[in-house]
Chain A
Amino acid sequence: MAWKIDNEKCLRCGACVSVCPELALELKETGIVHDAKKCTLCGICEKVCPVRAIEVKK
C-alpha cells in the first residue's frame, strides 16, 4: 500500500491535483504535497500524469 512520487520527473503542472477526488494533492513551491490521511489509493492521479511521475500501489 503506497503512493509515491518521483520529484525528479515531476514538472509541477498540477494535472494530478485537478483529478484527485479527495483533494489529497496540492501543488506547492516545493512540488506536489500528498496527504496520506485523505488518499484512498484510487490511482487516478497516476493515470493523468503526463510523465508518470506518480506510482500508486494498492
Chain B
Amino acid sequence: MIKDSYDVVVAGAGPGGSSVSKTLAELGFSVLMVEKRQEIGAPKRCGEGLTMNTVDIIGEIPQECIRQKIDGATLYAPNGNHVLVDLGAEGGYIVERKAFDKWLAVRASRAGATVVAHAEVTDVIKEGSQVTGVRILVGGGEEKTVRAKVVVAADGVESTVSRKAGLNTTNKLVNVDSGYQYEMSNLKLETSKRIILYFGNDIAPRGYLWIFPKGPDIANVGIGTAMSEKPAKWYLDKFIKDHPEIFGQSSIIEANSGGIPVGGFLENMVLDGFLVVGDAAHQVNPIHGGGMKEATIAGEMAAKVIAKAIEKGDVSASVLSEYNEMWWKERGSKLKKVEKLREVVEKLSDSDFNMISESLTSDVAIGLTRGGKMYSLAKILMKNPRLVKLARHLI
C-alpha cells in the first residue's frame, strides 16, 4: 500500500495533517499521510469545541460529526458572579472528534491522498541539511524507508518528528497547560446551548475549567492548569465533588488527558524539505486552548507554499519560509496578542477575577479571545491601582 516515494509525506492525521494532505492532493500532488495510532481521532485529547467561523475554513461539517450547537457561554468568577456571553448566530459546535477527525481524513483520501493508520514515523532521513524522507514503522512490524520532496510534521503536541529533523520544537513548561477531562453523562445542566467556564486560583490555577455540553445531560467536563501544585486531575475531581447540584447523579463515560501548547510560537517552522504545522508548531489560541482551527488554517497555508516550491523545483528552507511569513502575518501577530492577554490573566488573583466580572461585557469577552479589545480590559483593570502595571502590559 505504501509506495517508495511521494511528493509529500505527512506525519500525523489530526486536523493539521488532514488539511495539508487534502489541499495538496487536490492540487494534484502525491501525498502519503500516516497516523501512528490504530484509530484516527481516538482517544480524543480535546474538549471538542469549534467556533462557527471554523466552518468558513473547513467547509460544511456533516451532521454525524456535530453533537451540539452552542449559542453562548457563561463565565463564572470565583465568587459565583457570572457573565453571560452571547455568541448569537455565530456561536459554535461541540463536535465528536472520533467522527470529525475521521471525516477530515476521509476527505483527504477522496482528494487522492493515501492515508494509513497504525503507521508511525520513527525517524527522519537527511542528506546534509536536506530532509529527503522518513522511516515508517508499518502496522508495528515492517520498517520502511519512504522518500519525499517535502516532509510535513503534523504530529501534535508530542512533536518528535521536527526534533528528529533538527528543528527544536520542545515546549517550555510555562507554555504547556496540563489538561484533564471526563466525558460525563446524567448531568444536571441548565441548558445544553451554552458552554460554561469557571475561573479561580483554587479551581484551575493559571487556567480554567470547562463544561462543554454534547447533549441535554452529556458534556465534556475538563480542566487546563499550568505549573499547578497538584496535578490537573486533582482539581477536576475536587470540583466535581464540590458541585453535587450538577454532578450528584453523574457517570464518567470517558477519561482523557493531554498537554496544550499555549504560547511560545516559533519564529521558524521550516527546514530544507521540511515544515511543521498545528500543535507540533505550538499553533494554539493561548487563552482558550483551541487548536483545531489553527491547525487547519496553517495546514492550508503550508500546502500552498509546498505546492509552489515543488513546482519551482526548489524546496529549500529559503523558499518554504514563505510559510513562516504567511503564518505570522495572518495568525501569529494576532495570537501573540492573545498570548500577552494570557500572561496578564495568569497573574490575576481571585478578587481581580471577581472585580472584572462586574464590568465585563459580552463583546469585550469575545473580542479578547481574538486578540482585540485589549484596551477595554486594560480600562477595567486600571480601576484597581495595584493592576495598573499589569494593564499597561496589554496596551
Chain A residues in the interface with B (C-beta under 8 A): 11-21, 23, 26-27, 29, 44, 47-52
Contacts and interface: CB of A to CB of B under 8 A. Distances in A.
Nearest to B118: A29
Interface string B128-159: 00000000000010000000000000001111
Given A21-B170, A50-B231, A14 B157 contact: yes
30 contacts: A11-B43, A12-B43, A13-B257, A14-B45, A14-B158, A15-B157, A15-B176, A15-B178, A15-B179, A15-B257, A15-B258, A17-B160, A18-B157, A18-B176, A18-B259, A19-B170, A19-B171, A19-B172, A23-B160, A23-B163, A26-B160, A29-B36, A29-B38, A29-B140, A48-B259, A49-B178, A50-B178, A50-B232, A51-B180, A52-B233
Contacts of A29: 36, 38, 140
A11 B255 contact: yes
B159 to A, nearest CB: 6
Contacts of A12: 43
Contacts of B232: 50-51
B57 to A, nearest CB: 25
Given A11-B256, A13-B256, A13-B258, A47 B173 contact: yes
Given A29-B140, A47-B227, A50-B233, A19 B256 contact: no
A14 B45 CA distance: 10
Nearest to A44: B173
Contacts of B72: none
A18 B140 contact: no
Classify chain B: how many residues form its interface, as a range: 20 to 34
Given A11-B257, A51-B257, 4 more contacts: A13-B157, A13-B256, A29-B38, A52-B231
Interface in B159-190: 159-160, 163-164, 170-173, 176, 178-180
A14 B170 contact: no
A19 B261 CA distance: 10
A18 B231 contact: no
Nearest to B181: A50
Contact of A18 (B36, B38, B171): B171
A49 B176 CA distance: 10
Nearest to B180: A50
Contacts of A17: 157-160
A48 B176 CA distance: 8
A17 B160 CA distance: 8
B231 A49 contact: yes
Contacts of A21: 170
A20 B171 CA distance: 8
A23 B392 CA distance: 38
What 8 pairs across the A-B complex have the smallest Cβ distances? A15-B259, A50-B232, A14-B158, A50-B257, A52-B231, A50-B178, A17-B158, A50-B180
B182 to A, nearest CB: 11
A4 B43 CA distance: 24
A13 B259 contact: yes
A23 B178 CA distance: 19
A19 to B, nearest CB: 5
A56 B170 CA distance: 19
Contacts of B38: 29
B231 A51 contact: yes
